[in-house]
Copies of this chain bind each other. A is one copy, B any other.
Amino acid sequence: MQARAGGRTDRQLRPLRIAPVPNKFAAGSVLIELGDTRVNCTASVDEGVPFFLRNSSPAQGWLTAEYAMLPASTPNRARRERNFLSGRTQEIQRLIGRSLRAVTDLSKCPDLTITIDCDVLLADGGTRTASITGAYVALRLAVTQLLRRGRLKQDPLHDAVAAVSVGVRGERLLCDLDYREDSGIDLDMNVVMTPSGGIVEIQGTAERAAFRKEQLNAIVDLAADGLQPVFVAQREAVERALA
């Protein structure tokens, strides 16, 4: 049985670090590192809402996300998406937005638009899960700042959220795949969860053969376990930034 890079077990994530980044313009700004994967996550706050929410009653806020890869983040320089967005990019940024909105009560941030930007500095697998995990911290920091400044009256965030990938290769279940592991996998599943084990989003695609319900259950259990230290890291990053 092949060992994993860095000597980690099948159930272990790569080393995780979530660090606040000084940014005098963004309400929340963090750098998340998951192994070699590195994503810059910021939360920007603008007054007003998009046209489709204007005149909604009661007043609503809006929360959306954008995702991009810097050109030098991949083995061969990636072209910037300057003329159109690939399906992959759109799918990922929609996923980030939905995951965050699932823990946010938009009626508690009326007339505000919060935009989360996830810019991948280095892509070694797991950029979408790291983005969600880091995005939550940036959002949490921005919301806390808005509460402290009195711009928000109530906390719109009713839970935390984080994500991890789980892969199946033959009989093995592998937590948090890196880029090299990702290529030889039978099934790659992304699980977005809350600290209490609630599932916010689950996406699994069989690459080679269909998978069975028993595998699905084992995957969800592994994701829930693997995310425990991630939720701790999120809380510590928030505390450090607000200290």
Contacts and interface: CB of A to CB of B under 8 A. Distances in A.
Given A26-B72, A85-B90, 4 more contacts: A83-B83, A91-B94, A199-B213, A202-B202
A56 interface: no
Contact of A206 (B90, B119, B201): B201
B42 A24 contact: no
Interface residues of A, number: 68
Interface stretch (A10-18, A73-81, A147-155): A73-81
Interface of A: 21, 23-26, 29, 36, 40, 42-44, 46, 66, 68, 70-77, 80-88, 90-91, 93-94, 98, 102, 115, 117, 119, 121-122, 124, 159, 193-194, 196-213, 216-217, 220-221
B102 A210 contact: yes
Contacts of A159: 210
Copies of the chain in the assembly: 6
Nearest to A193: B210
A201 B190 CA distance: 11
Contacts of A77: 26, 44, 46, 115, 117
Q: Which of A25, A29, A90 has the most CB of B within 10 A?
A: A25
Contacts of A44: 71-72, 76-77
A115 B202 contact: no
